[in-house]
Amino acid sequence: MVKMHRRSFLSSAAGSIVVAGFGLPALADARNDFLVVGKRIDDMVTLDPGASLEGSASEVSRNVYRRLVNYDPHDLEAGYGPDVAEDWTVSEDGKSITFRIRQGLRFESGNPVRAEDAEFSLRRAIKMNGSPAFILAQFGFTPENVDDRIIADGDTLTITTDNSYAVSLVLNCLTATVGSIVDKETVLAHADGDDFGNGWLAINTAGSGPYKVLSWKANESIVMGVNETYVGPRPQVSRIMIRHIVESATQRLLLQKGDIDIARNLNPEDIKSVTNAEGMRVDSEQRGRLMYVALNQKNPTLANPKIREAVKYLIDYEGMQNSFLQGAWAVHQNIVPATYLGAVKENPFHLDLDRAKRLISEADVSDRPLQIGLRSGQEYLDIAQALQNRMAEVGLQAEILVGASSQIASLYRSRKHDIYIGSWGPDYPDPQTNVGTFAYNPDNSEEANAVGLIAWRNAWDTDGLNEQVVAAAQENDLKKREQMYHDIQARFRETAPIAVLFQQTEQAAVRDHVHGFSLGGAVTHPAYWNVTK
């Protein structure tokens, strides 16, 4: 009783301050109008959509920026649909796509959204050459030629690629964060030298989406508020705060007390306790990230096809899924994530020690213990230990090397590992994003230094898959394109020195009164504008 009294006193007192000083509605309403999300956001380095690749920054960009084409959070299965572009036409040679820009859209600043803004946004991504630039650059754009190949003309924007690519591939790439349309006038007004406004956009936003960023304190919180110039149904929650909370137990406690509405990084134990608790539920969505084991082909033992095959039978896929992975990862043995074009459900591998033993006995194995490299993370360590034990049972010695992620990454990028356990998130929602890195490696030499390709990192020349991958990227018949990805994956499963193990399922713990939150599935990022409280 006493506690209630204190609470209500505090609330009303604070409410009156809010009303008097800041012109916001009273606190009782404010609480319903205000969504707090607990999440680790230490991966957020820049808010500039032209320079960020994935993670928390992409989540913010999805809610702040419109793209030419986009995914509807209510109907992810429908694929991309019109957003800033009303419709588009493809030239006869298949190299040019012309978008007709929707009229009446506005940026935060009040400026209209024009074809010129789209032209500027895509050109600057290529010219800045930041980490996401390759998503567009794969179509032949370079800082030198982009001014001739991405051109606005009145209400239309035409992009011309170097080859005829599948239109679905090009458009899927434009739904990625790097395809975000920024406000040219505002950004240029804040440009510093020839930085294309990168310095300013790193900490500010200039979009036409449902929200805009009100404040960002690195490793503390980011607050988004409704963008008043947004054209579309007004979001019901007018402020979203994403709080950086590292500890899973702390997130759970805050959720139980109702101080946060959504907890995004709960460990399996905390997920379990939330599942059984009152007033909360767990929302699960399959995401695009895959976990895999890769064998470096520079190591003669691992280059032996018998050993490659044996390793695939040394992993207890089902057992791990049902024990320590507890719903966070589900068995998936193919390079195209489920729900993508061309995804398949064949999971032929299972734990089979006898088979593995037989294969290894036919191979020539060196005595030097193999090193299993992985970044810190309990699930990776658990998998590595399980693999190490199984390997020992069939006579392969292994040691585990755990390191900070950038430390292991540099080892992996320079092809100095033996076995690597890691994960890979798609960069854009098209099968090409994964097939083009796992099954494509046109030049396997050291000089090629193609660190972006997982096949190159593992010194695998892909046994002739390269041409099939290129052909699939250029096939415009969807049915045929789908079949081509089926074929590529079948061959990959059989021959690749890489075993895909699992696909991620993200579990968000949510208070019961929160509805309409979409994590974005495997194809895009979380959307907040349909959330109600």
Partner 1 sequence: MMSQTATTWNTALKVPRWVRRTVALTGAFAFTILGLMMVTFFIGRVMPVDPVLAVIGEQSSPETYQKVYHDLGLDEPLVHQFLTYVWGAVRGDFGVSLLSGGEVASDIARVFPATIELATLGILVGAGVGIPCGVLAAVRHGTWVDGILRLIITIGHSIPIFWLGLVGLSFFYGKLGWVGGPGRIDFIYDGLVPSVTGMILIDTALAGEWSIFANALSHILLPAGILGYYSMTYITRMTRAFMLEQLSAEYVTTARVKGLSERTVIWRHAFRGIRVQLITITALSYAGLLEGSVLTEIVFSWPGLGNYITTALLAADMNAVLAGTIVVGVVFVGLNMLAELAYTMLDPRARS
Residues of this chain that bind partner 1 (CB under 8 A): 3, 9-10, 13-14, 17-18, 21-22, 27, 30-31, 34, 36, 42, 45-46, 53-54, 129-131, 133-134, 202-203, 215, 217-221, 223, 241, 243-247, 249-250, 253-254, 256-257, 259-260, 403-407, 409-410, 412-413, 427, 449-452
The label of the residue with tokens 């294309």 reads 196
Cβ atoms within 10 Å of 380's Cβ, excluding its own: 20
Residue (of 330, 325, 284, 268) closest to 500 by Cα position = 330
What is the Cα–Cα distance from 10 to 18, expressed in whole angstroms? Answer: 12
Would you say 17 or 189 has its CB closer to partner 1?
17
β-strand 156-160 against 150-153: which pairing, if any?
antiparallel
Nearest approach, Cβ of 165 to partner 1 (angstroms)? Answer: 19
Nearest approach, Cβ of 407 to partner 1 (angstroms)? Answer: 5
Q: What is the DSSP letter of 260?
A: -
Would you say 188 or 214 has its CB closer to partner 1?
214
Q: Which amino acid is at 349?
A: F
Cβ proximity of 134 and 55 under 8 Å: no
What is the Cα–Cα distance from 144 to 155, expressed in whole angstroms? Answer: 24
Nearest approach, Cβ of 322 to partner 1 (angstroms)? Answer: 29
3-state helix, strand, coil split of the chain in percent (to 5) is 35, 20, 45
Would you say 445 or 449 has its CB closer to partner 1?
449
Would you say 6 or 74 has its CB closer to partner 1?
6
Nearest approach, Cβ of 211 to partner 1 (angstroms)? Answer: 16
Would you say 80 or 420 has its CB closer to partner 1?
420
Would you say 51 or 84 has its CB closer to partner 1?
51
Residues constituting the chain: 533
DSSP string, 258-302: TS-SEE----HHHHHHHHTSTTEEEEEEEEEEEEEEEE-TTSHHH
| DSSP bridge partners of 239 | 34, 225
Residue (of 236, 207, 242) closest to 530 by Cα position = 236
What is the Cα–Cα distance from 388 to 400, expressed in whole angstroms? Answer: 8
The label of the residue with tokens 């929200």 reads 211
Q: Left if phi > 0, otherwise alpha if psi is -120 to 50, otherwise beta: which for 288? A: alpha
Would you say 97 or 291 has its CB closer to partner 1?
291
Nearest approach, Cβ of 214 to partner 1 (angstroms)? Answer: 8
Separation of first and last alpha carbons in the chain: 26
Question: Using CA of residue 470, residue 167, residue 138, residue 287, what is the dihedral sign?
Answer: negative
Nearest approach, Cβ of 295 to partner 1 (angstroms)? Answer: 19
Nearest approach, Cβ of 80 to partner 1 (angstroms)? Answer: 22
| DSSP bridge partners of 403 | 375
Would you say 219 or 275 has its CB closer to partner 1?
219
Decide: residue 57, CB within 10 A, 0-12 exposed, 13-18 middle, 19+ buried: buried
Would you say 4 or 78 has its CB closer to partner 1?
4
Residue (of 517, 65, 9) closest to 260 by Cα position = 517
Nearest approach, Cβ of 168 to partner 1 (angstroms)? Answer: 22
Q: Which two tokens stand for residue 144?
A: 């030198």
Nearest approach, Cβ of 430 to partner 1 (angstroms)? Answer: 16
Cβ proximity of 25 and 15 under 8 Å: no
Would you say 3 or 345 has its CB closer to partner 1?
3
Would you say 45 or 191 has its CB closer to partner 1?
45
Coil/strand/helix, residue 282: strand
Nearest approach, Cβ of 244 to partner 1 (angstroms)? Answer: 7
Nearest approach, Cβ of 473 to partner 1 (angstroms)? Answer: 18
